[in-house]
Amino acid sequence: MFIQQLYTGCLSEAAYYIESEGEAAIIDPLRDIEEYLQIADKRDASIKYIFETHFHADFVSGHLDLSKATGAPIIYGPETETKLDVTIAKDNQVFKLGKLSIQVLHTPGHTLESACFLLKDENGRDHAIFTGDTLFVGDVGRPDLAQENMTLTMDDLAGMMYESLQHKILRLADDVIVYPAHGAGSSCGKNMGPETFSTIGEQKATNYALQAQSKEDFIKSVTEGLAAPPEYFPINVRINKEGYSSIDKVLADATAALSIVAFKEIKDSPDYIVLDTRKASVFTEGYVPGSVFIGLEGRFAEWAGTILPFDKTIILITEKGKEKESAVRLARVGFEKMGGHLEGGFEAWKNAGEEIDLIIDVEADELAMDLPFDEKAVVVDVRKEIEYIDGHIKDALNIPLNTMTDPGTMADFEETDNIYVHCMGGYRSIIASSLLKRQGIHNIRNVVGGWNSIKQQEKIKVEKSVEALN
């Protein structure tokens, strides 16, 4: 028996490679499938099955391309509805993999078709369960991701989740390993722990959702406090259900080099958007005017899916050699319209004497000195509302970054306002600053280190909202 978890940090996503006697199965593959093929080739194995725990909302699966490359069938759980060529398994159906077996457990709740895959060893003993978005370390999947043609409410799905956990998960032995599809940072849950795997026993002891409680109390506990899901989630579900372009075409389009002349001809067109994926510290020192910043070093794919429009063609500006990586990570969340990249990157643009823009960085101690004397100072806090409630600069304006995709959601600023933008650590605030600048708001200062640095300044007045004090 061989099991390998393939964890992708920027998406907090786990795919799995399982192998026995030269036969392999992949669970919840990402869209870029090379790693799975390479592992199988290195181990002289053939991929026999592709298992999908559900139609994913936070990323585009590699199921179609992987099936095409290997001939392996794509297997979903009961109640799956799609026109794609897939195998819809029955509840408790068993698939043989070398000396192992994989049993399908239908576990509706996160979605109707959600399934877990129970791996049994050579002796038929339960060894591990791949829980998808049904059970996480410290949490369960959110039940509010409404899908097409669904009449069920969030409470209805939460009730299904309760039944799935009670009758399919909690009956398993304490030593069965739990391998979920996501870890901390994912928007598919609200309370995930830092570990990427666990055991049934550990989860019975520590997971709030698995504690003894009535169905009504369970529904309340899993539905309270859910932040709104990212707006790109329904787009990814649709792509996973209906199909997508080959990633090879997406990468070919994205890695096509554009001369400065060709770049200038299209960069200001309403059909295009320029995306700069360089490091935040480099971007602030100089960038092509009108560019949107989303750096590869942060939760790049998630913020791209949240901020960028899917109907525009993306032109990339990257660090040298990062063109393909940028495109792959965009493709993972459903972006397919790529218009190439600026040849030579920002340095070529700057060296050609073209116009540049920049974002002024200020340290938290500078902010502390400015605020008491600057009547035109406006502090814009782009953290989530729950972060803002827990502590913020007195009189700061809260505009969460995820609401800044539409100019109409941004506050009205005076030309004489001195705007200080901050987040928790400094990544989101630069995304926000680039969006504000793109809308013609230029008198901006980015607070380096964000709230982490601000709260250390004794001279800055901070407060908590009433909600946090109750």
Helix (H) or strand (E) holding 361: strand 360-362
- pLDDT, residue 380, reads 97
Tell me what pLDDT residue 188 has: 87
Q: Answer yes or no: do 136 and 283 share one domain.
A: no
Q: Of 176, 209, 235, which one is at a domain's C-terminal end? A: 235
Q: What is the pLDDT of residue 469?
A: 45
Q: How confident is the model at residue 147 (pLDDT cuts 50, 70, 90)?
A: low
Same domain, 101 and 203: yes
- Kindly report the pTM of this predicted structure: 0.91
Q: Measured in whole angstroms, how far is the alpha carbon of residue 454 from the centre of its chain? A: 27
CATH number of 72's domain: 3.60.15.10
Q: Any idea what the CATH number is for the domain that residue 428 is in?
A: 3.40.250.10
Give the chain's count of helices (H) and strands (E).
Answer: 17, 26
Domain boundary among 351, 376, 397: 351
Per-residue pLDDT tens digits for 381-428: 999 999 999 999 999 999 999 998 756 566 788 889 999 999 999 999
DSSP for 90-154, please give it.
PTT-EEEETTEEEEEEE-TTSSTT-EEEEEE-TTS-EEEEEEETTEETTEE--S----TT----H
Q: Which of 235, 254, 284 is the last residue of a domain?
A: 235
pLDDT of 149 over the 60 cut: no
Do 56 and 132 fall into the same domain? yes
Which range has the worst mean pLDDT, 108-117, 181-190, 427-436, 452-461? 181-190
pLDDT for the residue numbered 467: 60
| Domain membership of residue 145 as a residue range | 2-235
Same domain, 286 and 397: no
**275/305 Cα distance (integer angstroms):** 12
Rounded mean pLDDT, 124-153: 88
* Helical (H) or strand (E) element with 338: strand 338-342
Averaged pLDDT for residues 426-454: 95
Average pLDDT over residues 59-74: 97
Q: What's the whole-number mean pLDDT along residues 129-134?
A: 97
pLDDT at 406: 59
Residue 68 has pLDDT above 70, yes or no: yes
The sign of the dihedral angle between the CA atoms of 299, 52, 229, 177 is: negative
- CA 150 vs CA 26, 59, 81, 111, 157: distances in Å: 29, 21, 12, 10, 11
How many domains would you assign to the chain? 3
Contact 335, 304 (CB under 8 A): yes
Q: Is the pLDDT of residue 281 over 90?
A: yes
Residue 240 domain-assigned? no
Average pLDDT over residues 2-22: 96
Rounded mean pLDDT, 375-379: 93
